[in-house]
A and B are shown apart, each in its own frame.
Chain A
């Protein structure tokens, strides 16, 4: 077991079951820059025709740039809110003593595993009642709030790993609790904040259901809704176009993934553990 050799049957088996994923994402790239061939999946010839959406609007679907701008604003705002509120609340829950702390913690943990998508109907009705329906700000607030229990829980976990001795030493040296947090503890958990920021950005960038329901109009439309709109348009059934838009949409995520794979592995797997 110390030195593993390639077990060919096992490797071949895994290659076969992984084939759909590999093929799908390979052809996402291939088809976006080739003339679709009707008889075969092999590309006919190179073309940039599928990328025409970058310079001209697709009839009935508005500009991809508006959607891109909205998506960027959306994801960046979600990151800002989630990181700011999680890093403070997470610290309080991990390190500060205050009444009902245990109850707060239990509550965060409960919400963390609670499936927030079940709230979509009442969120829709509430936003309409207060006039935030179909605005970018409304859907940003909802998304950030729904990500918060997860963010707080993750940040609490990162704070828990900072040795208490650092804080005790800081207090002995005359710093206030706030200074201890700001000057001593926060720098220790920068990797954690980075991981949470990346995770929230990707969650925001990819979000589909919330904007679909809470901000469907073209001014507030996100890329996910834009692409979904193309796909259900009966006048378009052009996988070359879909894939070009899809690739345009997924590239930031893939770049993030390539550079932060290990961090994300931790948070995807570990985020749900205690």
Chain B
């Protein structure tokens, strides 16, 4: 089932949280709503499932307009950040709850719940209460409850945020597996880019109530549309450096290089202020355009080492290099950057 948001806006009183958002999620696709906290991703999710009313715009499930339907009338499964299990009901009854509300027959309920428990490997937990379960088990119950009635759409609000690191890794692939097996269109809300990139087909990166870019994880990383996207995606993060265009050159204190050939005079003008963004893996001794500076920070991450290179003018470039710590703090080095992989942004942050 395809989900389509058209000109969707949402305000709380005078506060506009989402403005004119358009988003289409294809059938069986899993899309992440990624963004910093307060960017409106959970609000969007709540609007899709109907907990929040839509201020303006339309929401479509396939060719059905569901904008004004209350949550009870949308066939949507939701996994909440806190899991929101019913503490007074057993695991079985928790999973059965949507079916009981739907007034399914008890034999049918029994069959569906057992089947779901099988998919999630939790047959032996059915008699327990939520309070007796570990975080990962609660997560599975929440997932089972969301999926048991074959929802048109599966929505997940930070489903891994309340789990510890090991479980998070395990559940990442588990959720993806179950979503594939079920084949239902899904939206995952998260602030964790690794989660978004590893679990989803596409990512919609949001900031300030607007979608900044939609694309596959690779597109987002390789071809960020603007400075925000480039800065948000990627870990360790990209380094930015402000400068000015002079004679088809990028100039700033301590750095000065010819613009690559792909820039024609039309797209970039002399005197224009630009910001370049260089990912740490493109700042290394072997690259051509030279940068000179002092190493001001070294952090060993085991397999790789992270350096901060501070230029004469105070600009800092981050570099990640393999093969153990070869440089020390205070050392002056002359490294290079890969101009082919460098992003250029105009004053408003859009990529040139």
Contacts and interface: CB of A to CB of B under 8 A. Distances in A.
A–B in direct contact per CB < 8 Å: yes
A61 to B, nearest CB: 57
A223 to B, nearest CB: 48
A1 interface: yes
A3 B53 contact: yes
B210 interface: no
Interface string A1-30: 111000000000000000000000000000
Contacts of A1: 51
B46 interface: yes
B248 interface: no
Contacts of B53: 3
B78 to A, nearest CB: 13
A161 to B, nearest CB: 25
Nearest to B53: A3
B51 A3 contact: no
Contacts of B51: 1-2
Nearest to A2: B52
A1 B72 CA distance: 13
Nearest to A1: B51
B129 to A, nearest CB: 22
Contacts of A2: 12, 46, 51-52
Contacts, number: 8
Interface string B24-52: 00000000000000000000001000011
A3 to B, nearest CB: 7
A140 B52 CA distance: 57
Contacts of B12: 2-3
A14 to B, nearest CB: 23
Contacts of A3: 12, 52-53
B286 to A, nearest CB: 54
Contacts of B46: 2
A2 B51 CA distance: 8
A2 B53 CA distance: 9
A3 B46 CA distance: 12
A1 B52 CA distance: 7
B55 to A, nearest CB: 10
A1 B84 CA distance: 16
A215 B137 CA distance: 65
B17 to A, nearest CB: 11
A2 B12 CA distance: 9
A234 to B, nearest CB: 57
B90 to A, nearest CB: 26
Interface string B315-345: 0000000000000000000000000000000
Contacts of B52: 2-3
A191 to B, nearest CB: 31
Interface string B44-84: 00100001110000000000000000000000000000000
A126 B51 CA distance: 64
Nearest to B52: A2
A3 B52 CA distance: 8
A240 B73 CA distance: 58
A219 B51 CA distance: 65
Nearest to B43: A2
A258 B321 CA distance: 68
B122 to A, nearest CB: 30
Interface string B216-249: 0000000000000000000000000000000000
A108 to B, nearest CB: 30
A2 B52 CA distance: 7
A9 B300 CA distance: 66
Nearest to B13: A3
A197 to B, nearest CB: 38
A5 to B, nearest CB: 9
A3 B54 CA distance: 11
A2 B71 CA distance: 13
B183 to A, nearest CB: 31
A178 to B, nearest CB: 43
A1 B12 CA distance: 12
A45 B200 CA distance: 78
Nearest to A5: B53
A3 B47 CA distance: 12
A2 B17 CA distance: 14
A127 B51 CA distance: 64
A159 B51 CA distance: 41
A207 to B, nearest CB: 41
Nearest to B71: A1
A2 B46 CA distance: 10
A3 B55 CA distance: 12
Interface string A120-159: 0000000000000000000000000000000000000000
A3 B15 CA distance: 13
Interface in B9-24: 12
B171 to A, nearest CB: 28
A6 to B, nearest CB: 15
Nearest to B46: A2
A1 B46 CA distance: 11
A92 B260 CA distance: 78
A1 to B, nearest CB: 7
Closest 5 CB pairs of A and B: A2-B52, A1-B51, A3-B12, A2-B51, A3-B53
Interface of A: 1-3
8 contacts: A1-B51, A2-B12, A2-B46, A2-B51, A2-B52, A3-B12, A3-B52, A3-B53
Given A1-B51, A2-B51, 6 more contacts: A2-B12, A2-B46, A2-B52, A3-B12, A3-B52, A3-B53
